[in-house]
Structure 1
Amino acid sequence: MSPLAEFPPESRSTGFAMLAEPFQRRAVLAAAIGFGLALLIRPDALVPCLVGFCAAVLVLLLPLRAGGERAASGRGSTREVPGARPGGQLRAAVDALREPAFLIDRAMILRHNNPASLVAFGNVAINEPVSLRFRSPDFLATVEAALRQDEAAEAAFEERRPFDRIWQAEITPIRVEGTGAGGPAFFLLLFRDRTVERRLERMRSDFVANASHELRTPLASLIGFIETLQGPARGDEAARERFLGIMREQARRMSRLIDDLLSLSRIEMKRHVAPSARIDLRDVFEDVRGEMELMAEENGLEIRFERPEEPFIVLGEEDELIQVFNNLVENACKYAGGGGRIDLELSAVTEGGRRFVDAGVRDHGAGIAPEHVPRLTERFYRVDVASSRSKRGTGLGLSIVRNLLLHHRARLIITSELGRGSVFRARFPIADTADEVKSSQQ
Structure 2
Amino acid sequence: MAETGAGQESRGQALAARLRRNRWLLAAGVVAILVAYSFAGASILVLLPALALLVAAAMLPADAERQSADTAADIEAGGLQRLSGEYLAAAVADPLIIFDHSAAMVHANAAAFAAFGGLAPGMSLALKFRAPEMQALLDGILSGQLAADVVDYTEKLPVERTYRVSASTVGHATGLYVLVFKDQSETRRIDRMRADFIANASHELRTPLASIAGFIETLRGPARNDPAARDQFLQIMQNQTGRMARLIDDLLSLSRLEMKPYLRPGTAVDLRQTIDSVIDSLGPLASESGIVIERDFIDGPVSVPGDRDELFQVFENLLENACKYGQSGGRVTVSMARVDDGQDPGIDVTIRDNGPGIAEEHIPRITERFYRVDVENSRTQKGTGLGLSIVKHILTRHNARLSIKSEVGKGAAFTVHLPAR
**TM (normalized to structure 1)?**
0.50
Where in structure 2 are the equivalents of 1:180-199 lying within 5 Å? Answer: none
Mapped pair 1:288 → 2:275 = yes
Change in 2 beyond 3 A, CA 1:257/1:298: closer
Mapped pair 1:359 → 2:348 = yes
Amino acid in structure 1 at the alignment position of 2:88? M
1:223 Cα deviation after fit: 1.8
Task: Select 2:214's aligned residue among 215, 224, 228.
Answer: 224
CA distance in 2, matches of 1:399, 1:381: 9
Task: Select 1:254's aligned residue among 244, 259, 278.
Answer: 244
CA distance in 1, matches of 2:409, 2:299: 29
- Which runs of 4 or more aligned residues in structure 1 lie more than 6 Å from their structure 2 counterparts after TM superposition? 110-113, 151-156, 166-173, 193-198
CA distance in 2, matches of 1:169, 1:323: 45
Q: Secondary structure at the match of 1:381?
A: coil
CA distance in 2, matches of 1:262, 1:204: 15
Per-residue CA distance 1:48-79 (angstroms, 9 max, x = gap): xxxxxxxxxxxxxxxxxxxxxxxxxxxxxxxx
- Contact 2:149-2:167 within 8 A present in 1 as well: yes
CA distance in 1, matches of 2:256, 2:150: 29
- Contact 2:347-2:420 within 8 A present in 1 as well: no
- Give the aligned partner of residue 107 of structure 1: 87
Mapped pair 1:426 → 2:416 = yes
RMSD: 5.2
1:309 Cα deviation after fit: 3.8
Amino acid in structure 2 at the alignment position of 1:290? S
- Give the aligned partner of residue 208 of structure 1: 198
1:243 Cα deviation after fit: 0.9
CA distance in 2, matches of 1:130, 1:294: 60
CA distance in 2, matches of 1:134, 1:260: 45
- Give the aligned partner of residue 335 of structure 2: 344
CA distance in 2, matches of 1:318, 1:134: 49
1:405 Cα deviation after fit: 3.1
- Give the aligned partner of residue 4 of structure 1: none
- Give the aligned partner of residue 71 of structure 1: none
1:82 Cα deviation after fit: 2.9
- Give the aligned partner of residue 392 of structure 1: 382
CA distance in 1, matches of 2:419, 2:111: 29
Amino acid in structure 1 at the alignment position of 2:384? T
Where in structure 2 are the equivalents of 1:22-421 lying within 5 Å? Answer: 82-83=79-80, 107-108=87-88, 131=110, 204-267=194-257, 269-270=258-259, 273-278=261-266, 283-300=270-287, 301-302=292-293, 304=295, 306-309=297-300, 313=304, 316-337=306-327, 338-348=329-339, 350=341, 355=344, 357=346, 359-371=348-360, 373-374=362-363, 375-417=365-407, 420-421=410-411
- Contact 2:358-2:412 within 8 A present in 1 as well: no
1:81 Cα deviation after fit: 5.0
- Give the aligned partner of residue 39 of structure 1: none
1:341 Cα deviation after fit: 4.4
- Provide structure 2 residue ranges, at least 5 long, that are not aligned to the other structure: 1-76, 94-107, 118-128, 153-161, 175-179
- Contact 2:262-2:397 within 8 A present in 1 as well: yes
Change in 2 beyond 3 A, CA 1:360/1:135: farther
- Provide structure 1 residue ranges, at least 5 long, that are not aligned to the other structure: 1-79, 87-103, 114-128, 157-165, 183-188, 432-442
CA distance in 2, matches of 1:112, 1:418: 51
- Contact 1:339-1:363 within 8 A present in 2 as well: no
Amino acid in structure 1 at the alignment position of 2:217? E
Higher RCO (CA-CA < 8 Å; seq separation 6+): 1
**TM (normalized to structure 2)?**
0.52
Q: Secondary structure at the match of 2:369?
A: coil
Amino acid in structure 1 at the alignment position of 2:349? G
CA distance in 2, matches of 1:110, 1:290: 58
CA distance in 1, matches of 2:312, 2:186: 27
